[in-house]
Every structure is written in C-alpha cells, then in structure tokens.
C-alpha cells in the first residue's frame, strides 16, 4: 500500500513528518496549515503539536478532555541529506545515502525540475547504470561519436551498495581548450558510479585531461506500478561561478534524461527482472547485473522480517 506523508518545518528548523491523515476523519493533513510548531487540520480544525499529540479540538471547547488516541503517527525515522528528505516507514535495511560533493564548497549545485513519468524505477536505475547505450540513445547530447565497445571496469559491492569505476576515451566538446587548440578533442574520462539500494544513484565524471568534475545525482520515487517521479541534481566544480553555465548544464542534463525517457516510457512490461537467468547478459552489464542481485537480496531480507 502506498503511504503518504505530510512534511513541514517548524520555526526552530526541525523537520516534522507524519502520516498524512487526521485520526478524526482521515482527512489529508497536507491540506491544513502550520501554526508555529503545530499543525491544524483543515477539516475540523484539530491541532497537533510537534510530537503529533492533539492539543485542541475546537468542537469540544477550550476546557475539554481530549481523547488519548487523538494523535498523529510518524514513520520510524526521518533524515536529511544533500537537499533530500529520507523517510523510513519501518526500520531501514539500507544505509542513509550521502553525496560528498554536496558538502564540498568547490562545487555548485543545480536542480532539475522533478519529472513524473510512466516508467519503472528498477528499469530507470538499470538505464542510469548502463554504459553501453550512450552511442545509441544519446545521439543528440553526449553520445554522438561515443565508442560502442565497453572495456573492462571494476566493481566493489558493500552490503546493499556498490561502486564501479570505468575509464575511457571520449569527445570533450565542452572543453574550451579544444577550440583554443590547447587540448585534443578526444580526451580521457573516469566514470565513478555509486549505487545505494533501492533507488539512489550517483555518477561522478572526472575529466582527466581538462580537469574538473561533474556529479549527477539520480533519485527515484515509485508512485505506483507504472509511475515514477525522478529527482535529479548536478554538482559542478568547473563552471567558474557562472550561473549561465550552470543553467546550461542543467538544461543539458534535462535533455539527456528526456532521451532516456523516450525509450523507457515505451516499455511494454514495466518490470525489472530480478532473476538474472531470464535475460541475456554480457560483460558490459556488470553494474546492472549487480543491481538485480542487490534488489533481490533486499527483497528477500524484507520478506524475512514480515
């Protein structure tokens, strides 16, 4: 069952998260309003304090004894990291994801507008981790002229997460040094993928010849079996403080995502197979095979706790 939450920040800066239903008539509390550290339901005006306890029921008057069951329920845990709110309805099996570039003052951050689309979160994660589709899907952005062969790369798993590192030659069309004749068009690039289950993904692109790093964060929230909201941000340390270049970089990343969605949204079966024997895999698929194994292990662990 899909759970909905109401999220607000109290005047002291503390983040408050509760299930989005008033215990009275289950009206969505997200339609209510904040009053200091309290939250007032829009339906009958019940007021709940920062701990979820009901402190006022207008229909009973000011001196009434309030029902002890009139309180809000919250999730197991709430945390903030790199501009995102993580909510654990139950005791989490995976670690809280972090993103180092967000705490590094050398980087500037640009956020893409959230995208809600017909898609499967597992397939979108698979697509993000896939290195063999660049030259075929991204012909309008960075994939033009990309090599089709994917060489060997390393992958190290730790629990429900992994890191994969791949170096290759690519055409660096963004490098001003190419136009100036300082550096050749074809340069060396390191791709470092970091994945934390279930749907937290990061790609750091280190430009080894021209210098600089581009970090892409890709965070997926399934809404139902056929709908996903994509939250994505980029971190750059090579834009020399230019807001215009940052906007251009965000627009470029939006174009990249749209190229992926042109295919991903057209899948007939919106499901990621976790049985690795039902698809054909090759050596370039090391990251995406590990994705399936981790999600399978996570699902098995969650079922053991039921």
* Tokens matching residue 207: 């430009």
CATH number of residue 34's parent domain: 2.102.10.10
Tell whether 34 and 107 lie within a shared domain.
Answer: no
Report yes or no: 76 and 91 within 8 Å, Cβ to Cβ.
yes
Tell whether 140 and 281 lie within a shared domain.
Answer: yes
> Does residue 79 lie within any of the structural domains?
no
The residue ranges of DSSP E strands in the chain, in sequence order, are 5-9, 15-19, 33-35, 38-40, 47-48, 54-56, 77-81, 84-88, 108-111, 115-118, 154-158, 161-171, 186-196, 200-207, 213-224, 227-236
Give Cα separations from 301 to 199, 277, 294, 295 (angstroms). Answer: 17, 21, 10, 10
Q: Which of 100, 93, 75, 72 is nearest to 85 (CA)?
A: 75
Which among 74, 89, 123 is the end of a domain?
74
Tell whether 160 and 221 lie within a shared domain.
Answer: yes
> Does residue 167 lie within any of the structural domains?
yes
Of the pLDDT bands very low, low, confident and very high (cuts 50, 70, 90), residue 230 is: very high
Range of the domain at 11: 5-74
Q: What is the pLDDT of residues 118-177, one digit of tens each?
A: 999 999 999 999 999 999 999 998 887 788 999 999 999 999 999 999 999 888 877 888
Which among 74, 89, 113 is the end of a domain?
74
CATH number of residue 155's parent domain: 3.90.380.10
- Report DSSP letters for 263-291, one per residue: HHTT-SS------GGGS---GGGHHHHHH
- Give the burial class of 138: count Cβ atoms within 10 A of its Cβ; 0-12 exposed, 13-18 middle, 19 or more buried: middle
Tell whether 119 and 247 lie within a shared domain.
Answer: yes
> Does residue 86 lie within any of the structural domains?
no
Q: What is the pLDDT of residues 62-107, one digit of tens each?
A: 889 999 999 999 998 999 999 899 999 889 999 899 999 999 999 9
Q: What 8-state DSSP symbol labels residue 51?
A: T
Tell whether 129 and 182 lie within a shared domain.
Answer: yes
Does the structure show a pLDDT above 70 at 243? yes
Q: What is the pLDDT of residues 244-294, one digit of tens each?
A: 999 999 999 999 999 999 999 999 999 999 999 999 999 999 999 999 999
- Provide the domain count of the chain: 2
Q: Which of 254, 290, 251 is nearest to 274 (CA)?
A: 290
Confidence at residue 306, expressed as pLDDT on a 0 to 100 scale: 59
């Amino acid at each position: 069952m899909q759970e909905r939450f109401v999220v607000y920040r109290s005047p002291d800066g503390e983040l408050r998260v509760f299930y989005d239903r008033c215990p009275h008539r289950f009206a969505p509390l997200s339609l209510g309003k904040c009053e200091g550290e309290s939250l007032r339901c829009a339906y009958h005006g019940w007021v709940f304090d920062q701990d979820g306890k009901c402190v006022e029921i207008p229909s009973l008057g000011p001196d009434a004894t309030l029902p002890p069951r009139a309180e809000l329920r919250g999730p197991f845990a709430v945390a903030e990291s790199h501009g995102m709110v993580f909510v654990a309805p139950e005791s989490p099996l995976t670690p809280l994801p972090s993103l180092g570039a967000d705490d590094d003052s050398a980087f500037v951050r640009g956020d893409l507008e959230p995208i809600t689309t017909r898609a499967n979160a597992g397939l979108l994660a698979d697509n993000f981790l896939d290195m063999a589709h660049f030259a075929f899907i991204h012909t309008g952005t960075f994939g033009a002229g990309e090599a089709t062969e994917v060489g060997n790369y390393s992958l190290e798993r730790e629990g429900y997460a992994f890191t994969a590192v791949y170096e290759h030659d690519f055409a660096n069309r963004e490098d001003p040094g190419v136009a100036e004749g300082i550096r050749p068009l074809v340069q060396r690039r390191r791709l470092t993928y970091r994945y934390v289950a279930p749907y937290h993904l990061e790609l750091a692109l280190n430009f080894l010849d021209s210098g600089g790093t581009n970090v892409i964060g890709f965070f997926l929230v399934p809404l139902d079996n056929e709908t996903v909201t994509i939250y994505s941000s980029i971190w750059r340390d090579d834009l020399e403080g230019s807001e215009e270049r940052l906007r251009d970089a965000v627009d470029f990343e939006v174009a990249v995502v749209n190229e992926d969605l042109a295919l991903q949204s057209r899948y007939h079966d919106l499901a990621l197979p976790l049985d690795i024997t039902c698809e054909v895999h090759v050596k370039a698929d090391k990251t995406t095979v590990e994705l399936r194994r981790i999600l399978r292990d996570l699902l098995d662990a969650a079922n053991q706790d039921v």
